[in-house]
A and B are shown apart, each in its own frame.
Chain A
Amino acid sequence: MYVAVKGGERAIDNAHAWLAEERRGDARVRELSVAQIREQMTLAVNRVMAEGSLYDPDLAALAIKQARGDLIEAVFLIRAYRTTLPRFGASRPMDTAAMACDRRVSATFKDAPGGQVLGPTFDYTHRLLDFKLAADGEVPFAPELADAEPSKDTPHIMEFLDREGLMQRDTDGRTPPRDLTREPLELPATRDLRLQALTRGDEGFVLGMAYSTQRGYARNHAFVAELRIGKVAVEMDIPELGFAVEIGEVELTECETVNQFAGSKTEPPQFTRGYGLVFGMSERKAISMALVDRALRWEELGEDNLGAPAQDAEFVLYHADNIQATGFLEHIKLPHYVDFQSELELIRKLRREATADRGAHRAAAE
């Protein structure tokens, strides 16, 4: 019935009311608090903070609750909120060497100053469903070192290779980095912009891209020189005071990969670096980011363009953002009947002409 296209306003209100009811679920089951999500769904909260580009565990938890656990929807809520926030200024570059590490592992050295610290990792758990967790949620005792030393700076493993001159030197970024969220992305994108796009890019997309390099599409053979997770202080220069003040701390995952590089006409053989830095405990993302970063550096390192997807900065940067991707993908469910109508007319016309042509041919043949 042609009345079906009417009544958009009421339909929208009713849909929202139903959505709110569905979000709550069975009212006999106790409602989740934002604090519960923040404390017990931490890795989801971390992902929403990383891809939402906003470090606020409480808001990320609220977004997850509001989005019914749809993490991309939660990222979207955070992004839409973030974009309304005033910009006071920029922090000083964060010193990840001063990180209070909860976890720190190196795959390239058996031991190094600062040691290997497994931390709270899934790595060596056996993936067996823990039915006890369904019954009670009792926390087993996690032993602590009796006389733990106060944490001191943990030097980056790369530094040791650097001192030997085996590492390719990254150019010192003296110009302040540009801001992907305040300027349109234009190509070619410098490494600061590429890294920004990757750190807020969709975890699944960046993972898939990184995996493709491992399987041979622009293989660059990465070793995880170091993966560290912990809290780092955020400092800001206050012009009125003339010195930097610590304004808070954020949890970060940092991954540095060391990659083979045969050398070029201008450079002797040396190792090169891929870099990943992500909000929260986000190991998979940080490692993926480092691999893709390294793949995207082919041009500045004088490597060949193998035509691999992970080497194509335009392809990677334009498709990594899940908010852009999901928006455009899902918009095809919106009304398109004007365009479809014009296609309908065109195809009817073309078919009419084609049938007439065939008829004419047949008549001529007879």
Chain B
Amino acid sequence: MTQIEQDKNAPDTVMSDYNFAYLDEQTKRMIRRAILKSLAIPGYQVPFASREMPMPYGWGTGGVQVSAAVLTPDDTLKVIDQGADDTTNAVSIRRFFEKTAGVAVTEATAEASIIQTRHRIPEAELREDQVLVYQVPIPEPLRFLEPSEVETRKMHELEEYGLMHVKLYEDIAQHGAIATAYAYPVKVEGRYVMDPSPIPKFDNPKLEMAAIQLFGAGREQRIYALPPHTQVVSLDFEDYPFEASKADHPCGLCGAEDSYLDELIVDDEGGRLFMCSDTDYCAARQAVGHRGSDASPTLEGVA
């Protein structure tokens, strides 16, 4: 039984060589086909043969595969999570592409050609020559109304979205408002109801933009897309129109009134600080002299 005594794999099983951006070219081709199809049918969820990635499902494997498939050596990559470049998973994904693709990286939204994001759309307006890649946990907007994939695919096929409208109506009947604050469903070009990924509904109006938007769901094996300037309408009712909302404060650091804010608990008494979730936006404003009420160099100003 035990004829092999030496430990033949111990030293040299570490992979030393990756293809550009980790994925092999065959896989990239497969993903690019799915991306092209998704751009041709805006809002439609295209199945693709998602691969296991060296980070867990749920950490952005869909977005990483899409980014890997569209990345070229000349690209400049920005990665954000919760709007920030310095959150741990954004750091980890940015490093992954630095290591496997050797591309330039940036924190400046305007300098990036590809931006991978989780849960936010940058505040600065994006341009035609930019691509925004979303990490998507559950691509199916109808999933929490109907757990079966077989059923929801049929519902999209037949454009049968009554269930969603009933849900929104029941929200209003029960709470007086539509009780969805993020991953707020949208209708794309009057056809497919789409999940914009868990961005706050504050970001929904930005979904109509000049940049290409690609959505990757790794575990659920789906890719969908919004080509530039696609019509994207947040679902609502005439008498209960959609409302993009944010915390009713200016940013404590840069004073911005138009940006989405994080709320931080800053002392034992439960004191709060509101600051831009988009760290690049906030830093850029501070760099040109904007100051919020909590922006004193020491922390004493923090209420």
B72 contacts A by Cβ under 8 Å: no
Give the Cβ gap from A353 to chain B, nearest Cβ, in Å: 6
B176 touching A353, Cβ below 8 Å: yes
Chain A residue contacts of B177, Cβ below 8 A: 346, 349-350, 353
A58 touching B56, Cβ below 8 Å: no
Q: Complex Cα distance A180/B114, Å? A: 31
* Interface stretch (choices A33-41, A107-115, A215-223): A33-41
A62 contacts B by Cβ under 8 Å: yes
Name the one of A9, A62, A184 contacting B91, with C-beta atoms under 8 angstroms: A9
Closest to B89 in A: A334
* Interface stretch (choices A252-260, A264-272, A301-309, A325-333): A325-333
Q: Chain B at the A interface: mostly helix, strand, loop or mixed? A: loop
Q: Complex Cα distance A84/B9, Å? A: 18
Q: C-beta contact mask, B55-98 vs A, less than 8 Å → 1, else 0?
A: 01111010000000000000000000111101111111001000
Give the Cβ gap from B298 to chain A, nearest Cβ, in Å: 12
Chain A residue contacts of B176, Cβ below 8 A: 350, 353-354, 357
Q: Complex Cα distance A145/B166, Å? A: 74
Chain B residue contacts of A81, Cβ below 8 A: 15
Give the Cβ gap from B64 to chain A, nearest Cβ, in Å: 12
Closest to B275 in A: A2
Q: C-beta contact mask, B172-202 vs A, less than 8 Å → 1, else 0?
A: 0001110101110000000000000011111
B245 touching A345, Cβ below 8 Å: yes
B200 touching A341, Cβ below 8 Å: yes
Beyond A35-B7, A81-B15, A184-B221, whether A330 also contacts B58 by CB under 8 A is: yes
Number of interface residues of B (CB under 8 A): 70
A103 contacts B by Cβ under 8 Å: no
Q: C-beta contact mask, B215-235 vs A, less than 8 Å → 1, else 0?
A: 000010100000000000000
B13 contacts A by Cβ under 8 Å: yes
Interface-central residue, A8, A35, A59, A86, by most chain B CB under 10 Å = A8
B81 touching A6, Cβ below 8 Å: no
Q: Complex Cα distance A184/B48, Å? A: 5
B56 touching A327, Cβ below 8 Å: yes
Beyond A2-B273, A5-B87, A337-B262, whether A330 also contacts B149 by CB under 8 A is: no
Number of interface residues of A (CB under 8 A): 60
Chain A residue contacts of B261, Cβ below 8 A: 341
A59 touching B13, Cβ below 8 Å: yes
Q: Complex Cα distance A357/B11, Å? A: 70
B58 touching A331, Cβ below 8 Å: yes
Closest to A186 in B: B47
B53 contacts A by Cβ under 8 Å: yes
Give the Cβ gap from A192 to chain B, nearest Cβ, in Å: 16
Q: Complex Cα distance A354/B52, Å? A: 47
Q: Complex Cα distance A187/B66, Å? A: 24
Q: Which residues 64-108 of A have a CB within 8 angstroms of B?
A: 76, 79-84, 86
Q: 15 A-B residue contacts at CB 8 Å?
A: A8-B88, A80-B52, A80-B53, A80-B54, A186-B47, A328-B57, A332-B58, A336-B82, A337-B82, A338-B277, A339-B200, A343-B181, A343-B182, A346-B179, A353-B177
A interface with B by C-beta (< 8 Å): 1-2, 5-9, 11-12, 33-35, 39, 58-59, 62, 76, 79-84, 86, 181-188, 314, 318, 323-324, 326-332, 334-339, 341-346, 349-350, 353-354, 357
